[in-house]
Structure 1
Amino acid sequence: MRHLLILACSQRKRSDADSLPAIERYDGPTFRLLRRFLRKQPSAPLEIYILSAKFGLIPSDYPIPDYDQKMTRARSRQLQPEVMAKLKHILNAKPYQQLCICLGRDYFLALDKYDMLIKSGLAVRIATGSLGKKLATLHDWLYGKPPELASGQAIDLQGKACLKGIEVVMTPAQVLDVARQALVEGKGNPASYQSWYVLVGDRRVSPKWVVSLLTGLPVSAFHSSVARRLLQQLGVEIYRE
């Protein structure tokens, strides 16, 4: 079965001076998850296209320089005719059986009315919501089930937790990837904690801040003890000063 993945570019990028394939240039959590999958399953029948604020809809091996351009609603609407024409060409060129679209809200405007291009027999999965939820959906779509490992081999188990009806299914490594990306982008107030903290590299960050990233809920919507319990259910280590 031939699979097609469309995902958004990331603000986090490698800074190499020479051009790099897009899948190597972008270095956000979704791309780290994707590269881990490709290392484990290099022959997977998967074709990948990336929606870039600067370059539009490009194949994953398209060489691009380092750049800085944010996707806005206006830019997404500007790209929409070009992106839809490209998507139509991609879908008509090969008989795909599964399609996963992993995009943020502003990016999705460029694919407005994409469903008009979907043919019978093509199963579509949409990864939406918080970054944590999108990562979990993408992981499930890629693997279909947790990776099977040889006897005795270490495994980074996924945990499952739920807060106010929002389910989070992630490994500890994926949680920390989300937090690292948010630190790079300067999101929220990660240093606002009292005694308990999560260690992200050499940074001490608030458990409530991390849980807010994973669920999309404001930090005022839940207590610190609830945040700690959720992270522990996901296998994330919590430290105390």
Structure 2
Amino acid sequence: MARLLVLACSATKRPDPGRLPALARYDGPLWRTLRAADPEGRAAKVAFLSAHYGFRDAATPIAEYDARLTQDLAERMIAGGVTTRWPRPPSPRRPDTCGIHPAAEIVSLTRHGTEPVEEIALVGGRLYVEVMHALVRGFVEMGCVRRDARVSVINGPIGRMRQDLRAWLAADRSRGGRP
């Protein structure tokens, strides 16, 4: 079964210089839980949603940054849908050649839609989950997420989110599945 975990970025990041895969760069509680619960990365494909980088595969090398998802930015991400590149150009007068759009990332994660996502977990705060839901709707229209995909939302107090994330990851092992 094709599973996808979409995690919100983390304010806590490893300060290592240069670029690190997002899975290693982010060091908040949910990311530590992911690494501990699924150290070999077999339970699901993992992507992240960042106020700076947008929607990306967690294997993407990223630099340290400091950006928060605001209501305005969340609304712009939702309005931009799956075809708006993140990060945005540094100036509106510059060409839109920065970043990558969510559609390109999901196509890569699903092998050009030949392995559509059947189960997805959206993990993060309210604004992040709102943007994630909007992106999932676009991914369904692209054929990269099945219309009947099971969608789990993991949101709430951090302790509960960590428990729910661990349980979601373990559910794949109990069924014997692989991403």
Question: Structure 2-normalised TM-score?
Answer: 0.70
Instruction: Tell me the equivalent position of 1:54.
Output: 52
Give deviations 1:94-145, integer Å, cap 9, x for gaps: 2222111102012123235456436344111110112122212111100029
Instruction: Tell me the equivalent position of 1:142.
Output: 169
Tell whether 2:160 aligns with 1:133. Answer: yes
Instruction: Tell me the equivalent position of 1:11.
Output: 11
Higher CA-based Rg? 1
Question: Could you tell me whether the CA contact under 8 Å between 1:84 and 1:110 is conserved in 2?
Answer: no
Instruction: Tell me the equivalent position of 1:238.
Output: none
Residues of 2 paired with 1:19 and 1:138: CA distance?
Answer: 26
Residues of 2 paired with 1:43 and 1:132: CA distance?
Answer: 22
Tell whether 2:99 aligns with 1:78. Answer: no
Instruction: Tell me the equivalent position of 2:42.
Output: 44
- Cα distance change, pair 35–83 in 1 and its aligned pair in 2 (3 A): farther
| Residue identity in the other structure for 1:33 | T
| Residue identity in the other structure for 1:111 | M
Tell whether 2:121 aligns with 1:123. Answer: no
Pick one of 132, 139, 144 that aligns with 1:111.
132
Question: Could you tell me whether the CA contact under 8 Å between 2:25 and 2:62 is conserved in 1?
Answer: yes
How many residue pairs are counted as aligned between the two chains? Answer: 145
Residues of 1 paired with 2:125 and 2:147: CA distance?
Answer: 26
Residue 48 of structure 1, CA deviation: 0.8
Residues of 1 paired with 2:53 and 2:120: CA distance?
Answer: 21
- Flag the structure with more relative contact order, 1 or 2, with Cα contacts below 8 A and sequence separation at least 6: 2
Residue 15 of structure 1, CA deviation: 0.4
Residues of 2 paired with 1:13 and 1:95: CA distance?
Answer: 31
Question: Could you tell me whether the CA contact under 8 Å between 2:78 and 2:135 is conserved in 1?
Answer: no
1:1-241 pair list within 5 angstroms:
1-39=1-39, 42=40, 44=42, 46-82=44-80, 84-85=82-83, 86=102, 90=106, 93=113, 94-113=115-134, 116=137, 117=140, 119-144=146-171
Residues of 2 paired with 1:2 and 1:63: CA distance?
Answer: 23
Question: Could you tell me whether the CA contact under 8 Å between 1:2 and 1:45 is conserved in 2?
Answer: no
Residue 23 of structure 1, CA deviation: 0.7
Residues of 2 paired with 1:67 and 1:102: CA distance?
Answer: 20
Report the identity percentage. 28
Instruction: Tell me the equivalent position of 1:236.
Output: none
- Cα distance change, pair 65–121 in 1 and its aligned pair in 2 (3 A): same
